[in-house]
Amino acid sequence: MVAAPASLDTLCINSIRMLAVDAVNKSKSGHPGLPMGCAPMGYALWDKFLNHNPKNPKWFNRDRFVLSAGHGCMLLYALLHLTGYDSVTIEDIKQFRQWGAKTPGHPETFETAGVEVTAGPLGAGISNAVGLAIAESHLAAKFNKPNLSIVDHFTYVIMGDGCNQEGVASEACSLAGHLKLGKLIALYDDNHITIDGRTDVSFTEDVLKRYESYGWHVQHVKDGNSDVNAISQAIETAKAVTDKPSIIKITTTIGYGSPNKSDTAGVHGAPLGEEEADLTRKSLNWPYGPFEIPQEAYEQYRKAIDKGSKLESNWNDLLATYRSKYPNESKEFERMLRGELPGNWDQNLPTYSSEDQGLATRKHSQICLGALGPNLPELIGGSADLTHSNYTDIKGETGSFQPETREKRYLHFGVREHAMAAILNGIAYHDSGLIPYGGTFLVFADYMRGSMRLSALSELGVIYVLTHDSIGVGEDGPTHQPIETIPSLRAMPNMLVFRPGDGNETTGSYKLAIKNRNRPSSLCLSRQGMPNQRNSSSDKVAFGGYVLEDCEGTPELIMIGTGSELNLCVEAAKELKNKGKKVRVVSMPCVELFEEQSSSYKEEVLPVNVRKRLVVEAAETFGWHKYIGLDGDSVTMNGFGASAPGGTCMEKFGFTVENVLNKATKLLG
């Protein structure tokens, strides 16, 4: 008996399934199960709903698609290839997970055009999507005019059971419900399988009831394996709900089509193998060889090319009309899309003399944000429920981003640090010129580390405003005193870690953080006050480290300080100079930038032949030994802090001029 020819929908769906099977088999590594199960929802979404232009992946008004379940990346690579993206050829599919391929083991924005976010760990992608939706709704409220909606697109997500178990997703989706982000639509692959086996060993809650309580619109498609019409109708319904984000639970069979491995953990993270692949071909009535796609499927998918070109052309016409009617708004909008900063963005940033009142650097940060706000309309951000401790508000701004005031720039993230970081990444991924920042206590960077790492990996210019940077936190005690946090952030590639020593250095740190659009910045700021230094410089922060106080000739001792401890070095150096000692003080607000300077500059600041060096920082010593050397010493932390007034903590742990003098004197002999 000859099998009936497959429908066009079935051909298109099975094209995804078999590309996943063949690519994972060839690489001997990967996750074929999710693409096989999610192929119908992927096809329905991309064929019938997703507005995009395969020949211009960066067209601004495209819908954003996020594969939060990033281990199933062959679903995305198959869709990119089939719809005609130049970034994923059939040869790229064949090189899945191989060195230099455009098809790595998890989707990465910096590797593959058409990938919107580097989702990484489960839960991060859906959380990034909340940021994408916030960016869209903010820009729409700011720029759209009657009958001229130049910002009008959806954010779609495919997420899995694992995403719904990760806490970061819960944090972000709770906020999304509060914010009523109606253009955020999540398709939940409900396949009941994770690596450990069936989800009921640990996960038996009613997910849709949870999302309903968040304020989401919920639906359930019971047959996600083949009912494309039901999936399409659910997406259509979700699009019509404008005052709530939507989640559609779509029940599928992981590894659908595999006779022996479907609906098992065995298809989650391992190839089917050649024998099972042959059986799957028979099961799916797929008479084609490895990596072979029927022409009819290509023709259907690649209708997206002409459709996308027309969508972009129509949008360009709309933008031209907008430009003629609203020239000022258009200039700002298009400048932001180009990633250009306004010419006067930094003109109001403060400078200080040593006579100016000393403040905590968190207060200097607030002053900087207030100076930047009026001249930098793309600045958007807030705090994880610590506005009045982080001082992250923008002076002069009234109100915050809420469902009824989406044009506002201040975001109340609530007590949701990890979601905040992931959402900030999403705003940056939107690629619309917005500059996101978020504040919390430095110690809570440990909650955010996964998303901060993805900021660095994906080259996102997110600004982290991290206050209460040492044992100077005081009475809150060791749970809130970030002893090892600064060294650990310095260990993260592509992260700029600033610990400014006064007002000028705080200004310089903000200048660099704003300018670095391909690199995240962590601004580590104090609760305690510190004086403004006589020779500090906002411009010299760009060198990472510079000579703050010097002596005649070659120094006998170099002291290196950061943050509030910089002044301890300055005061100790005065005492030593009075005793006839030759002492240099180096301010090191950003180790990463100092490391990037020329060898000659680094030798000028820290001569190799000056081996007596003293580092002073109220943090763990880790990372400083390259500067301390074999003959140097440090005044740093080697254990946790304690609960007491901040000044008492600093004194008891040795952060006093007297102790710095004692250590310096010993070094000098």
Q: Classify 419 as helix, strand or coil.
A: helix
Confidence label for 197 from pLDDT (cuts 50, 70 and 90): confident
Side-chain half-sphere of 221: how many Cα atoms within 13 Å? 31
C-alpha distances in angstroms, 497 versus 296, 544, 618, 628? 53, 10, 15, 19
Taking 70 as the threshold, does the pLDDT of residue 492 lie above it?
yes
Lookup: tokens for 175: 């906020």
pLDDT tens per residue across span 247-278: 999 999 999 999 999 999 999 989 999 999 99
Structure confidence at residue 5 as a pLDDT band (50, 70, 90): low
- The residue among 220, 202, 121 whose CA lies nearest residue 448 is 121
Angle, helices 417-429 vs 445-457, to 10°: value is: 20
Residue 1 has pLDDT above 50, yes or no: no
Closest CA to 35 of 50, 12, 17, 52: 17
What are the pLDDT digits (tens) for 411-463? 999 999 999 999 999 999 999 999 999 999 999 999 999 999 999 999 999 99
599-647 tens-digit pLDDT: 999 999 999 999 999 999 999 999 999 999 999 999 999 999 999 999 9
DSSP SS3 for 491:
coil
Residue 623, both tokens: 């990372």
| Gap between the Cα atoms of 553 and 82, Å rounded | 69
| pLDDT the model gives residue 137 | 98
pLDDT range class, residue 4, cuts 50, 70, 90? low
pLDDT in tens, 238-254: 999 999 999 999 999 99
Of 250, 311, 302, 312, nearest in space to 80 by CA: 302
DSSP state of 479: G
Q: How far separated are the first and last CA of the chain, in Å rounded? A: 97
For residues 458-480, give the mean pLDDT.
97
**Rounded distance between C-alpha atoms, residue 525 and residue 503, angstroms:** 11
- Secondary structure of residue 614 in the 3-state scheme: strand
Spatial distance between the Cα atoms of 65 and 46, rounded to a whole number of angstroms: 9
**45-56 confidence digits (pLDDT tens):** 999 999 999 999
Average pLDDT over residues 487-506: 98
Q: What is the mean pLDDT of residues 462-485?
A: 97
What's residue 2's pLDDT?
A: 39
In 476-588, at which residue ranges do the beta strands (DSSP E only) sit? 496-498, 521-524, 529-530, 546-549, 557-561, 583-587
Q: Residue 3 pLDDT > 80, yes or no?
A: no
Helical pair 417-429 and 124-143, crossing angle rounded to 10 deg: 60
Contact 115, 384 (CB under 8 A): no
Q: Which residues pair with 198 in a beta bridge?
A: 193
CA atoms within 13 A of residue 570's CA, in its CB half-sphere: 20
Residue 115 has pLDDT above 70, yes or no: yes
Q: 559: helix, coil or strand?
A: strand
Alpha carbon 429 to its chain centroid, in Å, reads 8
Helix (H) or strand (E) holding 278: helix 274-283
Beta-bridge mates of residue 379: 435
pLDDT at residue 466 tops 80: yes
**Can you give 620-664 as a three-state secondary structure string?**
ECCCCHHHHCCCCEEEEECCCCCCCCHHHHHHHCCCCHHHHHHHH
Whether 417 is catalytic: yes
**Share above pLDDT 70 across residues of the chain, in percent, rounded to a whole number:** 99
State how far the Cα of 418 lies from the Cα of 422, in Å rounded to an integer.
Answer: 6
* pLDDT tens digits, one per residue of 137-165: 999 999 999 999 999 999 999 999 999 99
pLDDT digits (tens, 9 = 90+) for 60-80: 999 999 999 999 999 999 999
Active-site pick, 136, 417, 556, 620: 417
Name the maximum alpha-carbon separation found in the chain: 103
Q: Distance (Å, rounded) from C-alpha 31 to C-alpha 41?
A: 17
Indicate whether 110 pLDDT > 50.
yes
Confidence category of residue 395, pLDDT binned at 50, 70, 90: confident
The percentage of residues in the chain with a pLDDT greater than 90, rounded to a whole number, is 97
Query: pLDDT by residue (tens digit) across 276-310?
Result: 999 999 999 999 999 999 999 999 999 999 999 99
Give residue 177's pLDDT band: very low, low, confident or very high (50, 70, 90). Answer: very high
Kindly tell me the number of DSSP H helices and DSSP E strands found in the chain. 25, 20
- Looking only at the bridges linking them, the beta strands covering 529-530 and 359-360 are antiparallel
Which residue from 616, 596, 375 is spatially nearest to 501, judged by alpha carbons? 616
d(CA 67, CA 35): 11
